[in-house]
Structure 1
């Protein structure tokens, strides 16, 4: 019956279910393993010490686990490429769905622009005389072409992009552990660096809290598996598999990397803040380590841009199909790609990129800050949607045993995730509040995403006079139900 429904959906002109299980696995992995692990992770050790970084990433990892299981329960029951907007519309309030959709769209559209800027900066390492804009245009063209071909092309590209990153982390962990025990390098390093200075915990609880913010940014992108569910060959089987296995691998990679870096490089070393991977590879005697890591980080940037283009175009398409964006964006080409939504996202990403390249720096900083906060807002939405979904499911007398995937520890799981997300959002500008002064410019850039979301939410609510949907009235019908 499920295969019949998929065939009908494809014949009716909807998104084609072409993403395989291996694509979903790497989409989830690639979404979370990026510059957060290759660059920002060293800064966390510098700020809070190896012990503080482990605690912070562990706590955020638990939060992300609950978010992923919440998303998994909804995505297997109702797979949809406009997932966050659709779930918020059906399970909470149409106005909330409208704001969630546009929030997630501009989050990834801006991310595409920032990754293109980052890619151009990385290319200066090899080609310092080439204008950065040329590389940005080349990379943006590559990302657009991959997304224009088909969902399968995006998934295949992400499979290889993410595969390179995963292989790098695995090699790093093997080399790092071998170096710790003297198998590489010729002498036993051990774990003395865990007690250098104030280590393992530097700066106390405040430092750990500040690392929460960085850790949260590092894990953003894991929710892409929910967007990809709408084009998965068998979401009921593949989504739970991706969520159950990939999360633990990601957490292991982050915790393992922090452990290795903390053991090999004291937090007092200035190099840990800028290039921990390069330093470890260099100490292991790997030639051209800096050039190698620059290439891998470039791969990570292209992966993020590729995923951002996919997520934003599918979100815009989903909103158009749901009546929350112009119907023009709901058109598909012969390969099942929402080409108009893709073009619109490309234009917006290009404008944001030009703002960063030629306009006032403050505007670009605000755009990037709004995008970062939008990711946490999306996580709040996932937790809230799942809480409402499960309560509505039970209130309508449905059998929980018929769910293809059930999130663990309900309602505690989504409540913990919701509370931690809110804490992280409110803590964005904490460093700008000092005892004797307030950096209002910094505060504004940290929280600018919140008023944008509230304007979308309350503006739609006032215009259409929407209300929070009663549990008994929540629409739990899926495509194959009458």
Structure 2
């Protein structure tokens, strides 16, 4: 094993390889919290509310149950073997090289797409404020956050800590204001009580179809929590940090998601035209909070910057992991003297920049199919995690090993989780507006699986490659 600067190092049993351990426990905790509050929640929750009415709470509850189950399964695997490749590595261990290759590249593509999409939202806000062309602002944001990621992982950790802290404080302040308004204790508010939960056509005015439509939107709002298992591999005590983050995911969902959504549907009618401006803005305006639009835009900007920062980090680490397993260009696995996969970061950001420029220069008919591939990647990722957990847990039992953290009620609850994920995928096939996402994502996933299988059969020796093998 070589451990010099700018060389590809072996991924040791802790999964760190040539990467640094520069993230503190405090930063890991805040990253895991921030991962729960994505920019999509601030922007997209209004669509879910308009689709299901107050019953959107049911949609979020169902989605939350699935995500809690999946994160529990991932927590079992990650505490047993912390690795920057996370579920991609576990898929390879469980099912073979083809599975690790396919889900790894699918996830890399997901976050390379997320970078320009988040940059577009941020550039529209900043461009309007500063009077600068949006494309230039977007390029500047990507380049700036790329540079901070390249310098050291500590820079990523520090930025994400403060971004996450702002989001957490904002959500808690919003819930506190909403609670005062609901109980009639906010003098400036023009609304109070929880009458909107049933006064505007009932609790579920659009019935089961509305709940189903909001369910798909709610599920995608939770995407990002798995990042903690990738980031924790670059901390001093990854197993402890992962275990701590996974255990706290339930109460975070309860407070941040259900608390804020409950405030919104209590104070704003689900069919109110004000929701077109965004759910959080409509609620603040109903409470007569001065400068509601500016406040929400500022928070969205922070949320977007946070997601963009995390996306660069996550895509680069998945690229690094793929390279150490010989499934990506070898140069992506080289690290600087500070343990940063600089080449992998640059390639992820370069791909994002190409997509960003294409957004402003090419017809939307060219980009829409690409953006649609985001649709089912989260569900495919969850399915791979669940299948990997079943296979690897059974192998551990056969060897007489006891997992450090055990997913409960095995194997029954694991199979139930798999059935739920498959049901979600089937739901996308019938919910209006999601068929294209399912189709395009399925084609991309199928193509990657075919390539992965071909690679595995081309070099049968590579199918036994594990994170503990020496990467050249």
Q: Tell me if both proteins adopt one fold, taking TM over 0.5 as the criterion.
A: yes
CA distance in 1, matches of 2:466, 2:315: 25
Change in Cα spacing, 1:407 to 1:362, as seen in structure 2 (3 Å) is same
| Partner Cα distance (1:274, 1:189) in 2 | 21
Secondary structure of 1:335's aligned partner: coil
Larger CA deviation: 231-240 vs 304-313:
231-240
Change (3 A) 1:418 1:135: same
Superposed CA deviations along residues 433-472 of structure 1, whole A, max 9, x for unmatched, are: 8xxxxxxxx7444421111111111222134328999xxx
Is residue 2:350 matched to residue 1:347? yes
Deviation at 1:241, TM superposition (A): 0.5
Question: Structure 1 residues 353 and 296, CA, compared in 2 at 3 Å: closer, same or farther?
Answer: same
Structure 1: distance between partners of 2:458 and 2:59: 39
Specify the alignment match of 1:185 in structure 2: 187
Q: Tell me the CA shift for residue 188 of structure 1.
A: 7.0
- Given that 1:9 and 1:15 are in contact with CA atoms closer than 8 Å, whether structure 2 keeps it comes out as no
Query: Which blocks of at least 5 consecutive residues in structure 1 are unaligned?
Result: 1-5, 434-441
User: What displacement does 1:339 show?
Assistant: 0.7
Match in the other structure for 1:136: 138
Q: 1:31 aligns with which of 23, 35, 58?
A: 35
Q: TM-score, normalised by structure 1?
A: 0.89
**Corresponding residue number in structure 2 for 1:317:** 320
In the TM superposition, what are the counterparts of 1:188-203 in structure 2 within 5 Å? 189-203=192-206
- Does structure 1 residue 464 correspond to structure 2 residue 456? yes
Match of 1:91 among 74, 78, 94: 94
Who is 1:176 aligned against?
178
Kindly indicate whether the alpha-carbon contact (under 8 Å) linking 2:280 and 2:296 is maintained by their aligned counterparts in 1: yes
Q: Distance in 1 between matches of 2:269 and 2:109?
A: 39
Describe the superposition over 1:337-371 as per-residue Cα deviations: whole angstroms up to 9, x where unpaired: 11111111111111111221111202222222112
| Matches of 1:73 and 1:476, distance apart in 2 | 18
- Match of 2:289, SS? coil
Relative distance call for 1:372 and 1:162 in structure 2 (3 A) is farther
Tell me what 2:443 maps to: 451
SS at structure 2 position matched to 1:138: helix
Work out which of the residue numbers 146, 156, 166 in structure 2 matches 1:154: 156
**TM-score, normalised on structure 2?**
0.90
Structure 1 residues 351-360 or 314-323, which shifts more? 351-360
Question: SS where residue 101 of structure 1 aligns?
Answer: helix
Output one character per residue of 1:153-198: Cα deviation in whole Å (capped at 9) or x when no partner: 1111111111111111100000001001111036772121111232
Partner of 2:266: 263
Q: Residue 329 of structure 1 corresponds to which residue in structure 2?
A: 332
Q: Does the 8 Å CA contact 1:87/1:385 hold for their aligned counterparts?
A: yes
Give the aligned partner of residue 26 of structure 2.
Answer: 22
Residue segments in structure 2 that go unaligned for 5+ positions in a row: 1-9
Corresponding position: 1:305 with 2:308: yes
Deviation at 1:476, TM superposition (A): 9.0
Deviations 1:282-339 (A, max 9, x none): 3334321211110110111111111110110000100110111121111001111111
| 2:83 is the alignment partner of 1:80 | yes
Aligned to 1:42: 46
Corresponding residue for residue 396 of structure 2: 393
Counterparts in 2 of 1:301 and 1:411: CA distance versus 1, 3 Å: same
Contact 1:95 1:466 in 2 (8 A): no
